[in-house]
Chain A
Amino acid sequence: MATRINPEFVQRAVKIQLFGLTGFTIGILFFIICFISIKGLPQISFEFLTSNPVDMGRSGGVFATIVSTIYLIFVALVIAIPLGIGAAIYLTEYTRESWVTHIIRFGTECLAGIPSIILGLFGFAFFVMALRLGWSILSGGMTMSIMLLPTIIRTSEEAIKAVAYELREVSFSLGVTKWQTVTKVVLPAALPGIVTGIVLSIGRCIGETAVVIFTAGSSLRLPGSFFDSGRTMAVHFYILAREGISMPNAYGTAAILTLSILIINLGAYYIMRQFLKKM
């Protein structure tokens, strides 16, 4: 009789291996954060955060790029959130599954699959040139919102679907209309999931370069309005590193980028927890 491997042993071996694989993933994250922090944190100071870049970024700080990034996120979200959540509500509450919803869903998935550089090119051709908006925060934000839509629709849809059907039945049985049910019962219950999607989107905005270079340009001046060109932190980092302008400042920017994503994630997590406690 062939030797049979003891199932207990297999069980233990598998557990250790799976733990190892998980650990490896976390390890990579940890390594990246450490690497960026060690190289970049020493560059960061109050001065660095609050002064504008001087001499193409060889010296000075990154204030203008922080402002540009925030403006861009703002424009992108203001457009993408209502469109995305609206579409998600329509798909989940106002239609029944049919070939129409399948096509819409397939469409959003295709949209998610478009490489950002192509989207950037489209934004350049459409917003910058055809609509004559020029390289501006507005062009960039609008193009970016197209990129974010699939994420927001998808996560909102999942969050709305996860709300127990019984809650809707109860609300209807209390003589409450569908729209009131959506706004007073369904959306509040789905909010944690929706916010998660929005936070993910902010992360993508902060990290995106291809779309921004094509549509918002790379002007280092502090943008005065949404019609001005601006350079986001990610683009600034790209140009500093790619053109060898200043590696220390590039790492400093990278550290701020990474930290801000971390802070946004933690902040959103904390707010969600406070919110859930009240329910």
Chain B
Amino acid sequence: MSEKIVVKDFNFYYSNHKVLSDLNLTVKANSILGIMGPAKSGKTTLLRVLNRLCDLIPNIHVDGEVFLDGENILLPDLNVDKLRTKVGMVFDKPVPLPRSIFENLAYSPRIHGMKDKRKLEELVEKSLKLAILWDEVKDRLHEPATKLSGGQQQRLCIARTLAMEPEVILLDEPTYGLDPISTLKIEQALQVLKKNYTIVLVSNNTWQVARISDNVAFLLMGELIEYGSASEIFTVPKDKRTNDYISGRFG
């Protein structure tokens, strides 16, 4: 498997506070990387670096390199809008745009030049099917997306990201606050999606990380404590802190 994302000697500062330090990490193509760690360990920050959404935060400073397909995405003159179409993101809180289900999915493709109605319809259907939401909404595509339940809204957000046809999908606690059935559906969807996409998942739910990740990174206070395959980390963790965390002794 090839390396999709490479993070090299990466540091992230907010004002004068170091949020991430000396990070070295690779994400293999067509796999799921699970990032776990207690609150404030820099998981979300790392995710937001990968699509440069961190640019929105004032007073930040980064050094090091982050490569996507061998191209440094930290360069200041990089076209971030183009990067974000390649690296999609799903947030911890489902945020449907205040428009219909169909229009939520068509929003990004249409702005990026897809005008043909037939093609858009096909894309919407395909994306909703991948997010395991199609059967529930196929008869009410033109109803407001805000009418969906929380779990459906989150799958809509995944479908909306997929409709952009990205290469990487970043998920920030995608099942936060959802019921077990919605969580299961999202996890099933992710298992299928990794065949065609590279997925980076941040989760506070250690068991979720264990269930669906191929590789796992454990962050603590902005430092990468351990990185390896899920089976290794959850059976024979090398670091005592990892062991303490996964056995629920802190965090």
Residue pair A173, B93 in contact (C-beta under 8 Å): no
In the complex, how many angstroms separate the beta carbon of B236 from the nearest chain A beta carbon?
A: 37
Q: Which of B83-91, B180-188, B205-213 contacts A (4 or more CB under 8 A)?
A: B83-91
Which residues from B are CB-within-8-Å of A184?
107, 111
Indicate whether B121 reaches chain A with its CB closer than 8 angstroms. Answer: no
Indicate whether B95 reaches chain A with its CB closer than 8 angstroms. Answer: yes
The verdict on A174 contacting B98 (CB below 8 Å), with A96-B58, A166-B93 known, is: no
Residue pair B89, A176 in contact (C-beta under 8 Å): no
Give the nearest-CB partner of A185 in chain B: B97
Query: In the complex, how many residues of chain B place their beta carbon closer than 8 angstroms to a beta carbon of chain A?
Result: 27
Q: 1/0 per residue A94-111: CB within 8 Å of B? A: 001000000000000000
Give the nearest-CB partner of A276 in chain B: B98
Residue pair A174, B107 in contact (C-beta under 8 Å): yes
Indicate whether B150 reaches chain A with its CB closer than 8 angstroms. Answer: no
CA–CA, A226 and B148, complex, Å: 51
Question: Interface size bucket, A side?
Answer: 20 to 34
Indicate whether A225 reaches chain B with its CB closer than 8 angstroms. Answer: no
Residue pair B91, A166 in contact (C-beta under 8 Å): yes
CA–CA, A96 and B55, complex, Å: 13
Indicate whether B39 reaches chain A with its CB closer than 8 angstroms. Answer: no
In the complex, how many angstroms separate the beta carbon of B2 from the nearest chain A beta carbon?
A: 23
Q: Find B81's partner among A166, A169, A176 (CB 8 Å cutoff).
A: A176
Residue pair A176, B98 in contact (C-beta under 8 Å): no
Indicate whether B112 reaches chain A with its CB closer than 8 angstroms. Answer: yes
CA–CA, A169 and B157, complex, Å: 13
Q: 1/0 per residue B42-83: CB within 8 Å of A? A: 000000000101001010000000000000000000000111
Which residues from B are CB-within-8-Å of A173?
51, 53, 84, 88-89, 91, 161
Indicate whether B155 reaches chain A with its CB closer than 8 angstroms. Answer: no
Within 8 A of B (CB), among A12-68: none
Indicate whether A164 reaches chain B with its CB closer than 8 angstroms. Answer: yes
Centre residue among B88, B108, B161 by max chain A CB count within 10 A: B108
Q: Find A171's partner among B58, B85, B93, B97 (CB 8 Å cutoff).
A: B97
Q: 1/0 per residue B208-245: CB within 8 Å of A? A: 00000000000000000000000000000000000000
Centre residue among A96, A164, A172 by max chain B CB count within 10 A: A172
Which residues from A are CB-within-8-Å of B53?
169, 172-173
Residue pair A175, B84 in contact (C-beta under 8 Å): yes
A–B complex contacts, Cβ < 8 Å, 22 sampled? A164-B95, A169-B91, A170-B95, A170-B157, A171-B97, A171-B107, A172-B84, A173-B51, A173-B161, A174-B85, A174-B88, A174-B107, A175-B82, A175-B83, A175-B108, A175-B164, A176-B81, A176-B108, A188-B98, A189-B98, A279-B98, A279-B144
What is B's interface to A at a CB cutoff of 8 Å? 51, 53, 56, 58, 81-85, 88-89, 91, 93, 95, 97-99, 107-108, 111-112, 144, 146, 157, 160-161, 164
Name the 9 nearest CB pairs between A and B, nearest first: A175-B85, A174-B108, A175-B84, A173-B89, A166-B95, A279-B98, A175-B81, A170-B95, A177-B81
